[in-house]
Structure 1
Amino acid sequence: MTWTAVLALAAGTYLLRLGGILLRDRVTMPERLDRLVDLGATALLVGLVATAALTESGGFAGWARPAGVLVGGLAAWRKVPFVLVVILAAGTTAGLRFVGVE
């Protein structure tokens, strides 16, 4: 990729973010559209988590990683402190891999 393309993409990203800040109070969205935007952000986050948790190198990541993500998600849902959420998720994954579950 050339430097011109990189700089153009960087400038475009910056302008889009700046536009959101500058137009926040000037543009109003209908309530239904606002709800759909919220749902779209949630769907995007779920898709990213699912991809990261379930795949590795284009294939299935094994059962240990999704189990760790599930334990971490349950701990976060129960409002456990974030450091403990990370320790529980990593510990679950490591423990399962230690006993031979890939």
Structure 2
Amino acid sequence: MSWLWIGVIGATVVAFVQKWLGYQVPPAVLEKPRIARVTALLPVALLGALVATQAVADGQHLTADARLPALAVAALLLALRAPFLAVVIAAAVVAAVCRALGWG
């Protein structure tokens, strides 16, 4: 067995144990106001970090390509409370037009 598979199996076990430990937390701990605020905002922060990373990173390098204007259009439409499907389609169209014009 290679070191890669040992790492994959080890990461799987760690992820399982971490999730299991999360289920063992008493409800009284999760109902505290500070913990409730953190657990409510944590998914938003993680998703924002993922979007930011995917929008400007290309491997080990920062890049500015068609994803940035598409992200800007999506953010604007979300701020204007547009339907999510319209946001996705508009961002895809902007990215496609930018790529067709040779940017990205």
TM-score relative to the length of structure 1? 0.70
- Over aligned residue pairs, what C-alpha RMSD do you find? 2.7
Cα-to-partner distance string for 1:38-89 (whole Å, 9 max, x where unaligned): 444433322221111012133333242111012223334424143x332211
**Between the two proteins, what is the percent identity of the paired residues?**
28
Pairing partner for 1:80 from 64, 79, 83: 83
Which structure 2 segments of 5+ residues have no match?
none
Is 1:99 matched with 2:101?
yes
Distance in 2 (alpha carbons) for counterparts of 1:34 and 1:63: 38
The two structures have a TM-score, normalised by structure 2, of 0.69
* Deviation (angstroms), 1:20: 2.0
SS at match of 1:101: coil
Judged with a 3 Å threshold, the aligned counterparts in structure 2 of structure 1 residues 27 and 65 are, in CA distance, closer, same or farther, namely same
CA distance in 2, matches of 1:8, 1:58: 26
**Alignment correspondent of 1:13:** 15
Equivalents in 2 of 1:40, 1:81: separation in Å? 21
For 2:11 and 2:59, the matched residues in 1 are separated by: 27
Question: The residue matched to 2:29 in structure 1 has which SS?
Answer: coil
